[in-house]
Each structure stands twice: as structure tokens, then as C-alpha cells.
Homo-oligomer: A and B are copies of this chain.
Amino acid sequence: MINTSILKLEISKNRSKKSGLPAGSLIHIGHKKVKETNISLIDYGKDSHTEQTIKRISQCFPYKDDRTITWINIDGLHDVRIMEELGTCFGFHPLTLEDVLNTDQRPKLEDFGDYIYIVLKMIELDKNTGEISIEQVSIIFGKNFLVSFQEQPLDIYIPLRNRLRDSKSAIRKEGSDFLAYQLIDLIVDNYFKVLEYIGERIEKIENKLVLNPTQKTLKAIHGLKREMLFIRKSVWPLREVISNMERGHFLLIKKPTGLYIRDIYDHTIQIIDTVEIYRDMLSGMVEIYLSSMSNKLNEIMKVLTIFASIFIPITFIASMFGMNFKYMPELDWRWSYPAVWAVMIGIGVFLILYFKRKKWF
């Protein structure tokens, strides 16, 4: 089932923390998902590769101005001091830092000349509980650096890190825009995994719908419908961001990288198509559910009507001859009793045939 806290997470109390404060104030609006902020630094070029975990931003300074690409990855956003240092060091606009700390952003791309700031939403799936949650990823990249921010470490970066270690890997020869492309690609690919999982769940629910639909089935359908709402909400602006990257003539994105970005763009379109198809399918499933409800009611009513319609008339006959009138000549006749039986069976058979012809059973 969907993490019901998504709703709250999306528009809830977090906002209030900030209201009334001047614009540009650095406050972390989100969840403190890790105890300590972890900063890892990878510096690579055609022929070099350094990887280290650092404690203070100042450790990044030596890598800042060399010609190799520096990728600083920050897990945990609650340490405002680190953000400030980073901002001063790389010359980020206060609004950029404010947006990084506010995990309540809509995916967007902003070009500040020296660097491009991208906000994305990653969808994470907890395979055990089936819950999905949304993690905001901020990417800032300039000529030869890229800084990525999220509230907790992401597994999807692992294969990328391995590839960076491999000196034969194509990525080692490319610039920071290609690294940004790689990160976005990983995040977009992750949507497919979640949709795949949801597709399986839809199929399971569909089977239940055929066998024995209950109120719970309906709620599961509505749970998935709601998940679709949230995925859609994060993937539509994502499409815009990537479309912008493809068409927009940003100096920081080189022409050949554009070709690769067009590829991710196609993927986002496919995600959107799939989400829409799932939504239509789920609506159809609600329809089937409702109709199977009324179908069941019809079945129940048929049973009742058949029983009642057969036994009520013949019970009436029986009670007729249970009357205590003195002058009821039939009572004394020899064949009355069997005759009554015959009449009753006749009525019963007639009604059963009647209902059979009506295709009631």
C-alpha cells in the first residue's frame, strides 16, 4: 500500500516552519533521514581517479579549480552550516541553496550562467512493504564540477561509481554534463522499475477481481490510483526539465550529450504513457468491481425470490386446510390429501420451469 504519509509529506507542516521568514533564509524543510551528513568526493579525468569521504567542505577546495571533473555527493540535508560553506565556495545563489534544502520542490531546471541547477524526484520502492516514497535529488553542475544532494544514500549510484573507477569507461572521457546525464538516466530508469512492480500488483488485483472481489480489493485499486497521481505529479515536470535540457541552448550542455538526453526524453514520454494506461486500466477495474457487486446482488435476490416464490404459495395452500371451519367438505374426502400434494408439487415444478426459462439458474 502507498505510504499514506506522502500526502502529508508533500504539502504539510514542513511549509509552515518557514512562513513569515525572509526569502533566502536557509532552513531544512524535510526529514532528517540520516544522523550525519555524509560527503563523498570523486575526482576523475581521462587518466586520473580519486575517491574519498570528506568531513569538511574545505577539503574540496583543492579539486575545485583543476581541469578534472569533481563529483561531490552529499547525503543528508539538515546540516545548514555545510550548505553555507559550499555555497560560498562554489558561488551558488542563495535561492539555489534554499531550494536544495527544501525537499518540497517541483522538478525544475534553472540556469544561473555559471552552473545549472536541476531538481528531480526519485521514486523509491520498499520491496518488503510495497510502499513507495519520494526522494528529492538536487543536481548542480558547472564546467568541471557536479554536486548532488539527497536526504539519504541512494543505491542506484553504486554501478555508476564502479564505472567511474574503470579507466576504459567512456564516461571518464566526458564532461560534467555527461555525468549529470548519467545521474538523471539512473533516476528515470528507476521509474520503470517502480512501474514494473505496480504492473505486477495490478495483475494480482485483477486476478482477485475475477475470483472474489471484496471491499479490500477496491481499496487496493484506489491505493494504486493514488500512487499513479503522485508519480504523474513528479514525472510531468520531469519531462519538461528534460525537454528543456534537450532543446535549450545551454552553454554547459554539449551537443553530443544532447543526443543522449533525447533518449531520456523518450523514456519520460514512455513513463507518462504507461502511467496513463495504468490509470485507465484501474478505472476499468473499478467499473468491473462495481458491476460485479450488482451482479452478486442479483444472484442473492434470485435465490431469495426462487425460494420465496415457490414456498409462499404452497404454504398458503397448506394453511388453507389448516383452518378450523366446521363446514369444509374437502377435509373429509378420501383423496384430498394426496391431491393437495399433487397440486403443490405441480406449482413447484411449474415455477421452477418458469425460472429456468428466464435463465435464472
Please give the residue numbers on chain A whose beta carbons come within 8 Å of chain B beta carbons, in ascending order.
Answer: 4, 7-8, 10-13, 15-16, 19-24, 93, 95, 104-106, 108, 110, 159-160, 163, 169-171, 182, 185-186, 189, 192-193, 195-196, 199, 202-203, 210, 212, 215, 218-219, 222, 225-226, 229-230, 233, 259-260, 262-263, 266, 269-270, 273-274, 277, 280-281, 284, 286-298, 300-305, 307-309, 311-316, 318-328, 330-337, 340, 359-360
| A229 with B269: CB separation less than 8 A | no
A113 CB, min distance to chain B CBs, angstroms: 12
| A11 with B274: CB separation less than 8 A | yes
Can you sample 28 A-B contacts with CB below 8 Å?
Answer: A4-B203, A11-B196, A11-B274, A12-B196, A12-B199, A16-B192, A16-B196, A19-B186, A22-B170, A22-B171, A106-B269, A106-B270, A106-B273, A215-B295, A225-B284, A300-B301, A300-B302, A300-B360, A305-B307, A308-B308, A311-B315, A311-B316, A318-B323, A321-B323, A322-B324, A323-B337, A324-B328, A327-B334
A119 to B17, CA, bound (A): 27
| A304 with B303: CB separation less than 8 A | no
| B293 with A291: CB separation less than 8 A | yes
| B226 with A196: CB separation less than 8 A | no
- List of B residues within 8 angstroms of A104 by Cβ: 270
- List of B residues within 8 angstroms of A320 by Cβ: 318
- List of B residues within 8 angstroms of A259 by Cβ: 93, 95
| A288 with B219: CB separation less than 8 A | yes
Which secondary structure dominates where chain A touches chain B? Answer: helix
User: Which of A186, A260, A312 has the largest count of B CB atoms less than 10 A from its CB?
Assistant: A312
With contact pairs A189-B19, A199-B7, A229-B277 given, residues A315 and B319 touching in the complex (Cβ less than 8 Å): yes
- List of B residues within 8 angstroms of A270 by Cβ: 11, 104, 106
Chain B, Cβ-Cβ closest to A16: B193
Chain B, Cβ-Cβ closest to A339: B325
**Can you add 8 more A-B contacts, CB < 8 Å, to A108-B266, A322-B324, A323-B324?**
A20-B186, A21-B159, A233-B273, A293-B294, A293-B295, A297-B301, A305-B307, A311-B316
Pick the contact of A226: B163, B266, B284, B321 (CB < 8 A). B284
A135 to B192, CA, bound (A): 21
- List of B residues within 8 angstroms of A323 by Cβ: 318, 321-322, 324, 337, 340
- List of B residues within 8 angstroms of A293 by Cβ: 291, 294-295, 298
With contact pairs A233-B273, A301-B297 given, residues A159 and B284 touching in the complex (Cβ less than 8 Å): no
- List of B residues within 8 angstroms of A10 by Cβ: 274
